[in-house]
Chain A
Amino acid sequence: MSKEPVAIVGIGQTKHVAARHDVSIAGLVREAAARALADAELTWADIDAVVIGKAPDFFEGVMMPELYLADALGAVGKPMLRVHTAGSVGGSTALVASNLVAARVHRTVLTLAFEKQSESNAMWGLSLPVPFQQPLLAGAGGFFAPHVRAYMRRTGAPDTVGSLVAYKDRRNALKNPYAHLHEHDITLEKVQASPMLWDPIRYSETCPSSDGACAMILTDRAGAARSPKPAAWVHGGAMRSEPTLFAGKDFVSPQAGKDCAADVYRQAGITDPRREIDAVEMYVPFSWYEPMWLENLGFAAEGEGWKLTEAGVTELDGDLPVNPSGGVLSTNPIGASGMIRFAEAALQVRGQAAEHQVPDARRAMGHAYGGGAQFFAMWLVGAEEPTS
């Protein structure tokens, strides 16, 4: 059976900041949604369904906030779905919305993901230990640092690679008006001199805690034909999950991530991702995850990812730019972070990324992961309508 081609015709973000004291949660999400509608030159009445995602409800202290947000997102009288797949949720949410169009259940769908972390405390939101189970180890960094160290031991990567990624992403963020961190005086030396938090992860190699929302308008072929601006087209999308902890789990390069990427490439007809993909928006909350995911996603052979980073391949002017937007290292409203990756990939192939535009980007990848590196969501978008 044939699927309906899915087009991204509207993208909206808030300016991400540590605390948006001027808006409620409803005000925050509406801002992003209204910008996406304006970008698509559509109105609330054009939207058939709303798909919303965010990370745990404890982050704002509201149980199932989609109920309260129905009015703010123009969802009254419409179908509204709430997705939650941990840190990958922003990506998963976009994929669920995309499937609604692909299945021809709805023609035009608003999808949005948000986090207003200033309403509560994300550290404690993640630290609710229950009996007979290891508590999260002082935030996500404590959980992931040992896996970074395992990567360094396994590949022999020099310990300078993490700071190169952070320095690059923070410089890229200066070109993105929506990015949270705008460190105008950033230098590589400053990154390297920042305090060690979870050895080997330094303060400047970690993501901030942001308030923010991201929205997209997805539509069918007819909707794309009416779009006043170029559409980005979904060429492939997939989710994969594996258990948190089990004997034989490869935390450095999880099988679910490899399988997810392989499924996306199969759908998109990609056989050599390193050559055929022009830009990647990758979920890198701690700098070392760039070389790790370069390998996991098939952009580099095992043990070789750090060499791409070190050689400048992933710089904005390199031949495989990674996180031209500044990435999660510069902007992290957790529940929205995955959708921002997906949306920034779409901006690139629409040619709408302004100062952080990769020249002639025709195909771009959006990537998200969550939980104990166990939930993956990815899509590949292109400037052309898919042929198959």
Chain B
Amino acid sequence: MARHAREVAVVAFAQSDHLRRTDELSEVEMVMPVLHEVLAATGLKAGEIGFTCSGSSDYLAGRAFSFTMTLDGVGAWPPISESHVEMDGAWALYEAWVKIQTGEADTALVYSYGKSSPGSVRDVLTRQLDPYYVAPLWPDAVALAALQAQALIDTGETDEAALAAVGARSRDAAVANPHAQLRGPVPQGDYQVRPLRTGDCPPVGDGVAAVVLAAGDLARRLCERPAWITGIDHRIEAHSLGLRDLTDSPSTRLAAEHAGVFEAPVDTAELHAPFSSQEIVLRKALGLADDVAVNPSGGALAANPMMAAGLIRIGEAAARIHRGASRRAVAHATSGPCLQQNLVAVLEGDAR
């Protein structure tokens, strides 16, 4: 430890049930119960939290400044110290971690949410591509992931059977996760875009996640087994797919080096791999041994609420440490087409 000035731990994690549709719920109504649950786990009230940070996307909400409404779910009165990233909540957690490192806060509430159900998320995600040269062609997220999967198959690093096994293993693991959207044996299904079949792709759904961070002895008071963030880093790659080797993820590897992943073995890896082929890429970049429990929660193939799925990986890894099921875990979040941007965190329990 002591890579950074302050010890900071995940002391609580909560998430919604992830559902294909939540037509009857506003975003505030989705967020509030999860915030209440995560705060209740620590005994803290909103007014006692030092810093609050959230992640979401206006394009999913279909309106500008959508997060201004969700802030109502926090109960920001009297006024709070608060910020927002237009990114997955994992990056909101990073901003909060930095804030605690400055000494200006001892605790942080981090949350993120996304409703993909109102629109076609495949179409919506094309809007995050280069707006002049690529987005006008509307290449969707599944098609881009299929390019990556085919590149992997072409190098001999995987085949369709191995990809299918990733999907099957994820959804089997999700049986033990009451929040997951797809659980148990799910048919591999037809090709969506060759070589990816339905079972290689994430479900489209709505969901929320929230985490409480705390520093030092306060973390020990709030949580029996704090999940210490002993390293966290994130890196971005070039946007254009033509500039990248899609069979590798150098940004994940670089972030992992800076987070200290390779300094000792990990027993758990929660990877934000929305497509089965991306798990293959990430396993290689992180150098995971065969005995590492990869996505024991079921991962993004069992539930992939946009903007929350990365934060859930950190929360799930922390929850395993809270339960005593893991000593040293790696958590990963991704953003952008074909793993363009990646965040890696190392979470450790106290030796006992």
A interface with B by C-beta (< 8 Å): 1-3, 24-25, 55-71, 75-86, 92, 95-96, 99-100, 102-105, 119, 125-126, 128-130, 132-133, 238-244, 246, 254-256, 259-260, 263, 371-372, 374-375
Contact = CB atoms under 8 A, between A and B. Distances in A.
Interface stretch (B95-103, B155-163, B205-213): B95-103
Given A57-B59, A371-B68, A84 B85 contact: yes
A64 B251 CA distance: 18
A64 B64 contact: no
26 contacts: A57-B59, A61-B127, A63-B58, A69-B239, A70-B236, A70-B237, A76-B236, A80-B234, A81-B91, A81-B94, A81-B95, A83-B95, A86-B68, A92-B83, A96-B95, A99-B98, A99-B104, A103-B98, A103-B101, A104-B5, A128-B62, A128-B63, A254-B79, A259-B78, A263-B81, A374-B71
Contacts of B335: 64, 67
A62 B64 contact: no
B82 A239 contact: yes
Interface of B: 4-6, 26, 52, 57-59, 62-65, 67-69, 71-72, 76-87, 91, 94-95, 98-99, 101-104, 124-125, 127-132, 135, 233-240, 243, 250-251, 254, 335-337, 340-341
B42 to A, nearest CB: 21
Nearest to B91: A81
A25 B85 contact: no
Contacts of B81: 238-241, 263
B240 A125 contact: no
A364 B94 CA distance: 30
B69 A240 contact: no
B87 A58 contact: no
B78 to A, nearest CB: 7
A24 B127 contact: no
Contacts of B337: 67
B87 A68 contact: no
Contacts of A105: 4, 98, 101
B235 A79 contact: yes
Nearest to B78: A255
Contacts of A133: 69
Nearest to A122: B64
Contacts of A238: 81
Contacts of A375: 68, 82
B82 A240 contact: yes
B50 to A, nearest CB: 12
B68 A56 contact: no
Nearest to A259: B79
A236 B101 CA distance: 16
A374 B5 CA distance: 32
Given A75-B236, A81-B95, A241 B80 contact: yes
Given A78-B235, A83-B86, A126-B64, 11 more contacts: A57-B64, A59-B64, A61-B127, A65-B131, A70-B236, A75-B236, A99-B102, A129-B63, A241-B52, A244-B69, A375-B68
B25 to A, nearest CB: 12
B79 A62 contact: no
Contacts of B124: 63
A71 B95 contact: no
Contacts of A92: 83
B340 A81 contact: no
Given A80-B341, A371-B65, A256 B233 contact: no
A133 B294 CA distance: 43
B40 to A, nearest CB: 21
Contact of A3 (B58, B72, B95, B102): B102
A242 B238 contact: no
A84 B83 CA distance: 8
A105 B8 CA distance: 14
Given A62-B135, A81-B85, A371-B68, A3 B103 contact: yes
Nearest to A125: B64
Contacts of A55: 64
Given A81-B94, A103-B5, A241-B80, A374 B238 contact: no
Contacts of A83: 83-86, 95
Contacts of A62: 127-128, 131, 135
A246 B79 CA distance: 12
Contacts of A81: 85, 87, 91, 94-95
Contacts of A129: 63
Contacts of B235: 77-79
Given A56-B58, A103-B5, A238-B81, A82 B128 contact: no
Contacts of B132: 24
Nearest to A256: B79
Contacts of B240: 71
A67 B236 CA distance: 8
A82 B92 CA distance: 10
